[in-house]
Amino acid sequence: MFPTLDYAEVGFVCGLEVHQQLLTPTKLFCRCPAGLYTETHDGTVLRHMRPTLSELGEYDGTALMEFKTKKNIVYLLNVKNVCTYEMDDTPPFLVNQQAIDVAIEQCLMLGCDIVDEVHIARKQYLDGSIPTGFQRTAVVGVNGKIPFRGRTLSVTQVTVEEDSCREVRDRGHCIVWRADRLGMPLIETVTGADLRTPDEVEEAILLIGRVCRSTGHVRTGLGASRQDVNVSVRGGRRVEIKGVPKAGWAPRLVHGEAWRQVNLLKLRDELHRRGFTNADSLRVESQDVTQLFAATEIPYLRPEAWERWIEDEKMRPGFEIGKGPYRVRAARLPGLAGTLSWPTQPEHVFAHELAGRVRVIAGLDQVPNLLHSEAWPDARGTRSELKRLRGRLRCGPDDAIVVVWGPEEDTVTACEEIRLRYVDATQGVPNETRQPFVDGSTDFERILPGPDRMYPDTDSPPTRVTRERVALLKSSLSERPWDRERRYAAVGVPVSTAHYLIRRGGAVLVDRLAKETGAAVRDVAFLFGERLKGLRRASVPVDAIPEERWAELLRAFVATPVLKQAWEQIVLAIAATPARAVGDLLAERALGVEPPAWRAGIPAAFAAATEKAYRKEDARLVRRLAFASLMPGLLGRVPASEVEAAVTRAANGVAEVRA
C-alpha cells in the first residue's frame, strides 16, 4: 500500500525535537504544583491573540495566519493547579532553579556544552496554547553528541521551557484549552538533521528517550515525552510533524511526508510547465453561488442541512460560528484542471492540502469542507449541477472548481486561502507544521514560524551557571544508557531487557538493589526487566511494592538461592501484603527450608505417575509426571535440579529392579 522511495536519491533529511517533562514538584515560573492534572474546571477566561509587529514592520507569517483565523480562545482553569501566572495576569516569578539543575543534568547526559548564562526568551505562539501568546524558553546546552549506529547523532541545542496547555476542543472559530499542564518544566532536545531513513528516526527517538530517562529526574507516562519530527527532501523545505506521540508512528509519518514533498515538487514542475510560476500568474476568482445550490441534490449543501449541523454540533454564533449568513461560494481555478487530484501523501491528493488550510484558517470544519470538480458527488442530478456551475463561472475544459460553504466571511477567507495555497505550490513545499494521524497521514496545522518570533523576555533576569555548579552536577551524573547497556550485556542481560529497564526508569533501581544486596545484576535485571512484566499485565500491583521489600527478597535469594525458583509465589505474597517483612512471609510458608524426608515420597509419586501415564512403557513420560507431582510442594525448598536427579535415580533404580 505504501509507495517505496529511495531515501538517498530524494535527499531525505530528518532531525528531531524531543520534548521531555522534568520531574520537579513545582512549575517553571510559578509555585503551582507540576504534574497535577484535573479534568474539571472552576473558572474560564476568554482571550484573543493579536500579532505584534516584527523587526521589519511586518507580521510574522504564522502570526498573521493565526490572526486571520480570528479564534476565540477559551481557557479552563482549576484553582488546584493554576494561579494568576498561568492566566497571564501576574508576571513570572524567578525561574525554578531545580528545573535548571535537572536541565543541566540532561544536557550533560547528551554530551552538551552548558551555556554560561541562561537567558529566557519568548517564543510566540498565537494558537492560544499559551495564554501570554509566547512560550518562555531558554538555551541551556549546545553542541552535544550521542553515539548512534556507529556514528554520532549531533545535539544542536537543549532548551528548558514551560509546557503548554492541553487542547480540549477545536471547533470552527473557538479553541478550548485546559491550563493544568501549562508551565510545567520540560526540556526540548534538538538534534541535527542527521537522520537518513525512517527507521533511523524511530531509533533516534527511542535513544534520546533512554538518555532522558537514565537520570530518573524526568516524568514518565502519557504525554510526558513528545516529539516533533522535521523532514525535508532535496529541493523541498523543512516541514515539522508536531507532537508524534509514539516512536513507532514515526517511520510511516516521515515516509509519507517525504513522499508528499517529492509529489509537491513534481506538482511545482507541472505548474511551471503550465506557466504558473508565482502569485501574479495565478488568477483565482470566486463568487457567491448560493442561489444556484438552493435546491441542490447534494444534501449537505442545503441551507437547512447547515442549520441542522450547527444545532447538532452545538456551534454557537460568536464563538464557533463565523460572521455572516450561510453562503455557498465557488472558486474558479483557470488552467488548473487535474491539479486537485494530484497525489500528495499516500491516498491523499492536493485537494486535501486545500481542505486543511480552509479548515484551520477559515474555520470551516464540517466534513467534507469543500467540493471540487475532480471528485464531484455522483448522485442523481449532481452532475447537471456541476455543469450549471461551470456555465455560471464560465469555466473552460482546462479550468477547475472548488466549492466551499458556511458563514459568508469564512467562505471569502477560504477562497483566498485556496489561492494562497496554489501560490505556495508554485514554489514547491511550504514550510508547515503538520499534525500526525495514526494511519501515517498528516494534515495542515499552521505555517512554520521563523526566528522572527523569538525575543528576549524582559520580565526575567538571566541565570548565571558557574563551572562549579556544572562540575557538581557532573559528579553525581547517572550512567549514560550506552554505557549501561554495555555493562549489562557483559553480564548477559539482553539488549531488549536493558532498553526496557532504562525506558521504564527501572535500571537505576536494578543497579542500586544489586549493589545493596549483593545479588547479581543479571538476576535483578531479569526480575525487573522480564519476570515482573507478566505479573503487571495480570494486574498484580507489583509497582506498589516498596523498595525495602525488594531488597529483602534479593538478600534472601542471595542467602538461599533455592528461593529464586519460587519467585512468583513469593512476589505474589509480597504484593498481597506489601507492609509485611519478606522474612515473615517465607517463614510462614517454610520456604527455603528443605522438608526432612521428602525423598521418602518418591516411590508413591512414581506409582501414581505410572497409573496416570497413558503409555506406561514410556519411562521418560512417567518420570516427568512423577517430577511434576513432587515439585509444587518442594518449590523454593529443594532445587528442581536436585528433585529431578532424585527422580531419575529412582527411575533407574526401578528399571534395575525390573531387569
Q: Which residues bind another protein (CB under 8 A)?
A: 41-55, 57-58, 63, 77, 84, 87-91, 113, 115-119, 121-124, 126, 131-134, 137-139, 142-143, 157, 159, 451-458, 461-462, 464
Cell of residue 356, nine digits: 486543511
Contact 147, 63 (CB under 8 A): no
Task: Residue 622: name the closest of 655, 597, 599 by CA.
Answer: 655
The least CB distance from residue 112 to another protein, in Å, is 9
The least CB distance from residue 547 to another protein, in Å, is 38
Dihedral sign for Cα 28, 30, 31, 32, please.
Answer: negative
- Give the residue with the Cβ less far from another protein, 48 or 272: 48
The least CB distance from residue 462 to another protein, in Å, is 6
- Give the residue with the Cβ less far from another protein, 128 or 506: 128
- Give the residue with the Cβ less far from another protein, 132 or 441: 132
Cell of residue 528, nine digits: 525487573
The least CB distance from residue 480 to another protein, in Å, is 18
**How far is the C-alpha of 208 from the C-alpha of 109, rounded, in Å?**
10
DSSP 8-class letter at 247: G
- Give the residue with the Cβ less far from another protein, 7 or 134: 134
Q: Give CA 311 to chain center in angstroms.
A: 34
Residues in the chain, total: 659
Q: What angle do CA 39, 433, 44 make, to 5 degrees?
A: 30
The least CB distance from residue 30 to another protein, in Å, is 12
**Where would I find the H helices in 380-466?**
382-392, 408-426
The least CB distance from residue 162 to another protein, in Å, is 14
**How far is the C-alpha of 542 from the C-alpha of 540, rounded, in Å?**
6
Q: How far is residue 566 from each of residues 169, 562, 638, measured CA to CA in Å?
A: 51, 8, 10
The least CB distance from residue 23 to another protein, in Å, is 24
Contact 44, 179 (CB under 8 A): no
**How far is the C-alpha of 338 from the C-alpha of 354, rounded, in Å?**
14
**How far is the C-alpha of 585 from the C-alpha of 548, rounded, in Å?**
14
Q: What is the DSSP string of 573-613?
A: HHHHSTTS-HHHHHHHTTTTS--TTGGGGHHHHHHHHHHH-
**How far is the C-alpha of 165 from the C-alpha of 181, rounded, in Å?**
5
Residue that the C-alpha cell 547497556 belongs to: 485
Q: What three-state secondary structure class fits 160?
A: strand
Q: What is the DSSP string of 269-298?
A: HHHHHTT--SGGG---EEEE-TGGGTT-SS
The least CB distance from residue 116 to another protein, in Å, is 4
Radius of gyration of the chain (CA): 33
Long-range pairs for 531-540: beta carbons < 8 A, 24 or more residues apart: 531/567, 531/568, 531/571, 532/571, 533/500, 535/568, 535/571, 535/572, 535/575, 540/571, 540/572, 540/575
The least CB distance from residue 242 to another protein, in Å, is 17
**Where would I find the H helices in 31-85?**
61-68
Amino acid residing at 196: R
DSSP 8-class letter at 349: B
Q: How far is residue 544 from each of residues 235, 541, 655, measured CA to CA in Å?
A: 54, 6, 52
Contact 652, 602 (CB under 8 A): no
Helix (H) or strand (E) holding 539: none
For 29, phi and psi rounded to 5 degrees? -125, 5
Q: What is the DSSP string of 35-47?
A: S---S--SEEEEE
**How far is the C-alpha of 430 from the C-alpha of 239, rounded, in Å?**
8
The least CB distance from residue 74 to another protein, in Å, is 9
- Give the residue with the Cβ less far from another protein, 121 or 638: 121
- State the greatest distance between any 2 C-alpha atoms of the chain, in Å, as a whole number: 107
- Give the residue with the Cβ less far from another protein, 131 or 198: 131
End-to-end CA distance of the chain: 68
The least CB distance from residue 50 to another protein, in Å, is 5
The least CB distance from residue 425 to another protein, in Å, is 27
The least CB distance from residue 16 to another protein, in Å, is 15
The least CB distance from residue 364 to another protein, in Å, is 23
The least CB distance from residue 89 to another protein, in Å, is 5
- 308: how many CB neighbours lie within 10 A of its CB? 12
**How far is the C-alpha of 84 from the C-alpha of 25, rounded, in Å?**
18
The least CB distance from residue 129 to another protein, in Å, is 12
